[in-house]
Amino acid sequence: MNHKKLYIGALFFICTLAFAAQAQEAPGFEPSWLSLLPPVVAIILALITKQTLISLFAGIWIGVSLLAGNPITGLTTALDTYIVGAVADKGHASILLFSMAFGGIIGLVSANGGMKGIIEATSKYAKSGRSGQLTTALMGLLIFFDDYANTLLVGNMMRPFTDKLRISREKLSYIVDSTAAPVASIAVISTWSVFQMSLLDGPYQYFNIQENTYITFLRSIPYSFYCMLTIIFVLLNIWMRKEYGPMHAAQLRSRETGAVLSENANPMMDPNLMDEASIKRPATHWTNGGIPIITVIFLTFLGLFITGRNSLGDVTDYTIRDIVSGSDSYAALMWAAYITSGIGILLSVGRKILSLQEAMDAWINGLRSLVLACCILVMGWTMGKVCEALNTADYLVSLSAGILSPELLPAVTFLTAAAISFSTGSSWATMSIMVPIVAPMSIKLMGIDADAVIQTPIFVSTFASILSGAVFGDHCSPISDTTILSSTASGADHIDHVKTQLPYALTTGGIALFFGYIMIGYGFSYWISIGLGIGCIILALKLFGKPLPRTHLK
C-alpha cells in the first residue's frame, strides 16, 4: 500500500511538472489559477506520501519551473536562489539557530535528569489525562509573548509527562499548536500584537486617522473569533473528555495500548537522540530543568526590552508599546537560547551531574534531533517566496473582490486570509498582504469619514478577521511553519498532527465564520455572537464527541 501511494505521488508530480514546463515560457508571472499549483501540489503529495520534506520541494520545483519556463532551470534556480535565499534571510537564520539551540537545551535538561524531576514534581498535581492536558494548556496560555518560544517550550517540556499519562502525541501537538499562535496573537503585548499594529500605520497615515493603532488593536481582540473560540474549544474539549474524528482514534490507541505514536509514524524529531540520556539518568531535582527553562523565558523578555529600548535612542518619553514595537524578537530569542545553553551546561557540570564532555554530547544530541524540522522550515519559507513570486495572494484576493459588501466584508476577509495562509503556510505573510489592502478597502467601501469608520464593529471585526483567518489557515496547512514546529516540539508525525487537528480547526473556523463574522456584519451584538459560538462548541462536542477510558498516574 505504501509503494502504491509512492507511485501515485510520483506520477502525479511528473505530470504536474510536465504541465508546468509548458504553462509559462518566459520570466514574470501574471496572477492566475496556476499561482495555486505549487502549494496545492505540495499539500496533495504530503497527504499521499506522508513525506513533508519531499512534497514541499516538489511544490517549490514546480513553482520555480513555472517562473523559469523549463524544469531544468527550475531545479537549479530553486536550489541556488530560492532555498539559499531562504536560509540567508537574517530572520530565518535566527529562527534556525534559536530552534537548534533550544533543542540543545532540551537535550541537556533531559540528560541531567531535570526533565524527569519536573515531571515527578508536576505529577503530584496532575495525575490524570484531563489534568495533564489542562496543565499543558495552562502553560500555553502563560507563555504568551511569542508563538515560537511557546511551542518549543511547552511541547518539549510536557512531552515526557504526557507520554506517561498515555496522551497521544497528536493530542499534545494539537494543544500546543492551539495555545501558541491563538494566544500570542491576541495578547496585549507580544511579537504578534506589535506586528499587527505596525501594519496599520500606513493606512492610518494615508487617511490621516488620529486614533493610536494600539487602541484599534485592543478593540479588535474580542472580535478575533477563531483565536478566542479555539482556546475555549481546547479547554472545553479537555474538560468534557470528548474526542471525535481521527483524534478519537489516536487517543483511543494511546489509552488502550500505550502507543503515543501511530504504527507508521515518522516523528519530527529523533526520539533516540532525545531520550537515550534521560532514560539512563535517574530523576534529579526539578531545578536542574526548571532553572534553564525559567532562564530562557526571562532572558527573552529581557532581550525584547533591551533591543526595544536601544531602538529608541535618546528618547525619554516612551511607552511599553514603543519598546515592544522597536524590539528585535529574533535577537532576543537567540540571546536567550545560547546564554541559557551556557548556564545549563555550567549548572549540570557544577552540580556534578554530568561531566563537561557528557553535557556537550547531550547538547549536541538535542540539536541534532531538530535537523529534520529545520530542513522542513527552510522548505516552508522557500514555498512562501515562490508563492510571492507567483502572486498567489494577489490572485486569491482578486477572487474575493467581486463579492465584497460592507455586511459581508468581515466574513469574506476571514475566508480570503484563511485561503492565503493555507496556501503560503505563513500567518505573518498573510497579514502583511491583507492589512494594507483590506483596511483602505473597508474605509472606502463604507463611504463615511475614516475616523468614524474605524469605530464601527464592521471595521474592527474586519481587521480582526485578517488575524483570525491567517491563524485558521495556518492551523489547517501542512506547510505552515508553526504547524511544523508544533509537530517537532511534541515529537509527533507531522501529517498525523495535521489530520487530527483539521476537524477541530474546521469546527472552530465554521463557528467563527457563521456565528462571528457573518452575524457581526449584519449588526448582531458581539455578546450574542460569542455566546452562540461557545454554545455551538459544547453542542458539537456533545453530539460528535465520544468518551475515552480514563488514565491515572500511580
- The one-digit pLDDT tens for each residue of the chain (554 residues) are 466 666 666 656 666 665 655 555 445 567 677 787 887 787 777 667 767 678 888 888 888 888 887 788 888 888 888 899 888 888 778 878 887 887 788 788 878 888 777 766 766 676 777 888 998 898 888 777 667 767 877 887 788 888 888 899 999 999 999 998 899 888 876 667 766 776 676 677 777 777 767 778 888 899 999 999 999 999 999 999 999 999 999 999 988 888 888 888 777 665 544 444 444 555 577 788 888 888 887 888 888 888 888 888 877 777 776 776 677 777 887 888 899 999 999 999 998 888 899 889 889 888 887 777 678 778 877 877 887 788 776 776 676 666 667 788 899 889 988 988 887 777 877 777 677 677 777 777 776 677 777 778 888 898 899 999 999 998 888 878 788 888 888 888 888 999 999 999 999 999 999 999 999 988 898 899 999 999 999 999 999 999 887 665 55
Give the domain range for residue 25.
2-88
Instruction: Give the per-residue pLDDT at 276.
Output: 47
Distance CA 118, CA 109 (A): 10
Question: What's the DSSP call for residue 283?
Answer: P
Residue 409 lies in a domain: no
Residue 550 lies in a domain: no
Rounded Cα distance, 194 and 289, in Å: 31
Residue written as grid cell 539559499: 84
278 part of a folded domain: no
Q: Cβ of 200: how many Cβ atoms within 10 Å?
A: 22
Residue 44 in domain: yes
**What are 267's strand-pairing partners?**
493
> How many domains in the chain?
1
Angle, CA of 179, 541 and 230, to the nearest 5°: 20
Placement of cell 514595537 in the chain: 325
Indicate whether 11 belongs to any domain. Answer: yes
Asked whether residue 262 is assigned to any structural domain, the reply reads no
> What are 56's three cell numbers?
514541499
Angle formed by the axes of helices 356-368 and 90-111, nearest 10°:
130
Residue 14 lies in a domain: yes
Positive/negative CA dihedral, 15, 18, 23, 26: positive
Rounded to whole angstroms, the Cα distance separating 542 from 237 reads 10
Distance CA 163, CA 160 (A): 5
* Residue 163, pLDDT score: 87
Is 345 inside any structural domain?
no
Cα(97)–Cα(310) distance, integer angstroms: 23
pTM: 0.69
